[in-house]
Amino acid sequence: MTITFKTIPASLRAPGVYGEIDPSRANASTVNQPTLIIGQMLASGTATANVPVLVTSYDQARTTFGAGSMLSLMYKKYREADAFGTVYVLPLADNAAGTQASNTITITGTATAAGTLNVYVAGTNIQVGVAAGDANTAVAAALNAAINAAIDLPATSSVSTNVVNVTARHKGIAAGDIDLRVNYGGPAAGEFTPTGVTVAIGAGTAGTGEPVLNFTALADTAYAYICTPYTDSTSVGAVSTLLNDTVGRWSPFLQLYGHAFSAKEATVGNLSTFGNGLNDQHLTVLGFNDAPEPVYLWAAAYTGVCAQSLSADPALPLQNIALPVKAPAKQSRFSLTERNTLYFDGISTTRINDAGQVILDRSVTTYQTNTTGAPDSSYLDTETLATLQVLLRDVKDMLSVKFGRVKLVQDGTSIPAGSNTVTAQIIKGEVIGWYRNQVNAGLAQDAAGFARGIVAENQGNGVVALLLPIAVANQLRITKLLVQFTKP
């Protein structure tokens, strides 16, 4: 017989018409690529620490992790960049041994004219109406009341005469990134300090003690994009282990894959030093300096725009995309030379357009050298591993569906049509056809070269080994113009 069945037995004698469904050539589904956001929850939240939660709305995030918590704000910011992706959140408890960041806002003088005070707390404008004749103590009391009335702020405050003391809700370094500034919008936004009033921001005290990352409860759930706001060496090491090629999610025994996105606020020099201390193709860090919003919101926005783009097309360049964050101060924005330097140090960066929007300039991984210490650009671009992640998952699904339950015989054996028997070369032919489809989809290139280079070996004992010379699609980065002119 040339047609064989997997469920209808050959011994069937009872009369009738029996149909068996074979989906091996019909699978055209796309794989869901969920995001995992890692951050801290407040004690007022209802979630269980270290257990991932599927979150579908900001209201749910506020209840689950606490209003004003790092996680509720990260979720909100992420959704500003990716409105439709599936999002899980891994809540962490504050480190009990940590401390909260704090700073002061000192009000002096007496208002000689009415006006509006604009104080930005972690990027949120807290406005206070000031009447002519208001003393500094009255202005400070009003500002303190306004800060505490904003229940979604990542900080609370108290007042002592004319000094407002601002304290982060969470303990820790990243969670303590509570920027304070006055009149961020400037004259263009109509922001002026009321006449007679002076506002001074203190030097501030940073938070300490990042939470311990515990990934046990992630189990075997595949997360395509992982947002982490923590860039201390211990946290970075934990994420690197999670995604490791040997024992982590990129190992051939787990095949869960995923890519981590983070952010770091520092000067160019400090970012360069930080980047040169890393070398992980599965980690991408966005560098910036002197921005009003906390680093964890930059991490969430960065992950969101990248996840949205990569889910739609993993090979499409991660560049010229607007991030929903407030721009750094003009004097702290990176020049072209500085950005180019950071790309050689494993740090992604942004630029600011004429409209004041933050634009993703290029996304690179922290991978810079191979195991011998030689410079290596193999994994430079974030898009490379994102594309490979999709291709690996897709070819695995194709092979599992078509060859999940077949017999293997040596090459050259005559195989009747419809038989549940294959050779290594039959599998090779299917993979070549699969690759042509990926080329047509714009994820790969050089189908002819792939067909020439692919190797399929029957290694005995039911093992087929495949060598896949995949050439992933490249991204257009630079267009060079050589202008030759004449003056006839």
Judge if 228 and 303 occupy the same domain: yes
The answer to whether residue 395 is domain-embedded is no
Judge if 260 and 372 occupy the same domain: yes
With a CB cutoff of 8 Å and minimum separation 6, the contacts of 323 are 81, 298, 301, 302, 305, 350, 357, 358, 359, 360
Predicted local distance difference test score (pLDDT) of residue 11: 75
**Sole residue written with tokens 């990352």:** 213
pLDDT digits over 377-393, tens only? Answer: 999 999 999 999 999 99
The answer to whether residue 16 is domain-embedded is no
- For the record, the structure tokens of 259 come out as 């890519």
Beta bridge partners of 467: 455
Range of the domain at 217: 35-93+213-384
Residues in the chain predicted with pLDDT less than 50, given as ranges, are 1
Q: What backbone phi and psi angles, to 5 degrees, belong to 430?
A: -65, -40
Judge if 53 and 142 occupy the same domain: no
Single residue among 201, 235, 258 that ends a domain in this structure:
201
- One-letter identity of residue 46: T
Judge if 317 and 233 occupy the same domain: yes
Q: Which of 168, 164, 172 is nearest to 156 (CA)?
A: 168
CATH of the domain at 159: 3.90.1160
The answer to whether residue 375 is domain-embedded is yes
Judge if 233 and 295 occupy the same domain: yes
With a CB cutoff of 8 Å and minimum separation 6, the contacts of 264 are 231, 271, 274, 285, 286, 287, 288, 295, 347
Asked whether the beta carbons of 133 and 109 are under 8 A apart, the reply is: no
| 230-246 CB burial, b ≥16 within 10 A, e <16 | bbeeebbebbbebbeee
With a CB cutoff of 8 Å and minimum separation 6, the contacts of 17 are none
Predicted local distance difference test score (pLDDT) of residue 182: 98
The answer to whether residue 1 is domain-embedded is no
Split into its structural domains, the chain has a count of 3
Judge if 241 and 354 occupy the same domain: yes
Instruction: Report CA torsion sign: 40, 42, 43, 45.
Output: negative
The answer to whether residue 458 is domain-embedded is yes
The answer to whether residue 435 is domain-embedded is yes
Q: What CA–CA distance (Å, rounded) separates 235 from 59?
A: 28
pLDDT digits over 179-190, tens only? Answer: 999 999 999 999
Judge if 428 and 463 occupy the same domain: yes
Judge if 224 and 161 occupy the same domain: no
Single residue among 323, 349, 384 that ends a domain in this structure:
384
Judge if 75 and 125 occupy the same domain: no
Predicted local distance difference test score (pLDDT) of residue 23: 62
**Sole residue written with tokens 């067909």:** 451
- For the record, the structure tokens of 52 come out as 């991932």
Judge if 83 and 107 occupy the same domain: no
Single residue among 201, 235, 270 that ends a domain in this structure:
201
Q: Which of 432, 406, 431, 402 is nearest to 419 (CA)?
A: 406
The answer to whether residue 266 is domain-embedded is yes
The answer to whether residue 39 is domain-embedded is yes
Judge if 248 and 370 occupy the same domain: yes
Judge if 232 and 183 occupy the same domain: no
Predicted local distance difference test score (pLDDT) of residue 24: 57
